[in-house]
A and B are shown apart, each in its own frame.
Chain A
Amino acid sequence: MSQRTARPVGLKFTNIEKRFGKLYALRRLNMEISPGECVALTGRNGSGKTTLLRVASRLTRPTRGEVTFAGLNGGEEPAIGYVSHAVMLYDELTAKENLLLFARLLGIAEPEKRAQSLLESTSLASRADSLVRTFSRGMKQRLAIARALLQEPGLLLLDEPGTGLDTESTMWLVNTVRCLRDEGRTIVTCVHGESALSQLATRAARLDAGMLVADTRGGATFQNIFATVEA
């Protein structure tokens, strides 16, 4: 049986193509992400960012091409934390029950302790026993991020994680991502234009109509990538 590892992993997309009927979401995409890199993925709406993250998380199978993970030993699976547009939480369960459910499914030792510590770090401890359906969008988003961090993932895929967050929560998110980046975890995050989150990135890539049109690791081009999207 495969074992999940929290060790940072690299990602390699080889000739990825994803079609939904006649529509191409990704076209001949080649990209290699080294372990520990923090990549900001940008592009207009419908450019294929979300599809790329879903392909990376293996939730969506590419029509053509393959995704491989680097830095894994035989029989190991990457521990992937994924925050998507949808919060991926059960409305009919409480915040604590949601975290406990996923912690138990992941086989985390002392799930109660882990859930409690994440509830505290997301400032949701006082609402631990409230049903998620009573939460605001921002609170749900914080809990969704806590869910993604449950297994201390080696690869973190964040799809516009700042959605619905107020200034204070955005600061918390930026600090959390900074800590994870500094710990050497691999992070791929979708962003719209330049933001506090995009500034944490060590590499920026831009998608357009499913194709990788720009990819840089710093310098003037780095800022240009975000500027082009905003224009």
Chain B
Amino acid sequence: MRLFSNTAVLLQKELQAEFRSHELLTTASVFILIVIVLFSVTFDPTRTESQQFGPGLLWLAFLFSASLMLQPCFLKERNNDTLSALRLVVNDPFAIFLAKLCANTIFLLTTELLLLLVFGVFYNVAVLSVFPQLALVFFWGSLGISTTGTALSAISSQARMREVLLPLLLMPLLVPVLIPSAEATKALFDTEHALRWDWLGILIAFDVVFLTALWLFGEYLLEE
């Protein structure tokens, strides 16, 4: 199908550009690292405290780093009006969104999983034993952040106060992603290491709803 072949070509372009510049990955990694280290040094939490407050701290760091990562997503397409060039050649504009949200999910997930190990060391939380389950929660959480963030990035890139607008819109809209993600992470950090399917279900439902909305209305977000 043309949609998927176009998405694959555009995704390759996004990855190629990022792995050449390392702009987004470096910024997001450094930000999360600073938050993890700073909170660990300042509060010096016990293992129980880390299990209780760690997930919230982690997802808050992921949210802020995501807003840094998502800001240039459509903004960079405005530099040389490359978005118009893409709209002229792509049959289905959803391919543009799909490629961008896949790339954002990959970047976000890579950063999260790498820094999860650092978190485990600084907060004395066993993350390796539940790594596959955590990766699953992080994937659905990151997909939710990326889907919403990519759509909002397209909207805010056309606005006058674009730098302020994205975080302003993103944070309240992502509450339904952050709460289940943090709760599911917390359950995995607990001694029982339980994978909470109820929270994961809410996450998946959110992702499906937003992806469908983007598929149906995404075209209008790209119009001038």
Please state if B87 and A1 are interface contacts (CB–CB under 8 Å).
no
Q: With A and B bound together, what is the CA distance between A117 and B81 in angstroms?
A: 25
Residues of the B chain whose Cβ atoms lie less than 8 Å from the Cβ of A152: none
Please state if B9 and A104 are interface contacts (CB–CB under 8 Å).
yes
Interface stretch, picked from A30-38, A84-92, A167-175, is A84-92
> What distance in Å separates the Cβ of B5 from its nearest Cβ neighbour in chain A?
8
Q: With A and B bound together, what is the CA distance between A101 and B17 in angstroms?
A: 12
Please state if B89 and A106 are interface contacts (CB–CB under 8 Å).
yes
Please state if A88 and B80 are interface contacts (CB–CB under 8 Å).
yes
Please state if B90 and A105 are interface contacts (CB–CB under 8 Å).
yes
A188 within 8 A of B: no
Known pairs A59-B88, A86-B80, A87-B80; A92 contacts B224 (CB<8 A): no
How many positions in chain A have a CB within 8 Å of any CB in the partner chain?
A: 28
Q: With A and B bound together, what is the CA distance between A147 and B86 in angstroms?
A: 11
Known pairs A2-B91, A90-B80, A91-B79; A105 contacts B9 (CB<8 A): yes
> What distance in Å separates the Cβ of A124 from its nearest Cβ neighbour in chain B?
17
Please state if B17 and A88 are interface contacts (CB–CB under 8 Å).
no
Q: With A and B bound together, what is the CA distance between A86 and B79 in angstroms?
A: 8
Residues of the B chain whose Cβ atoms lie less than 8 Å from the Cβ of A89: 80, 82, 85
Residues of the A chain whose Cβ atoms lie less than 8 Å from the Cβ of B82: 88-90
Q: With A and B bound together, what is the CA distance between A57 and B84 in angstroms?
A: 10
Please state if B17 and A107 are interface contacts (CB–CB under 8 Å).
no
> What distance in Å separates the Cβ of B103 from its nearest Cβ neighbour in chain A?
14
> What distance in Å separates the Cβ of A140 from its nearest Cβ neighbour in chain B?
8
Residues of A participating in the B interface, judged by any CB pair closer than 8 Å:
1-2, 54, 57, 59-61, 80, 82, 84-93, 97, 101-102, 104-107, 147, 151
22 A-B pairs with CB atoms under 8 Å apart are A1-B91, A2-B91, A54-B224, A59-B87, A59-B224, A60-B224, A80-B88, A86-B84, A87-B80, A88-B81, A89-B80, A90-B13, A92-B17, A92-B20, A93-B13, A93-B16, A101-B9, A104-B5, A105-B9, A105-B90, A107-B2, A147-B85
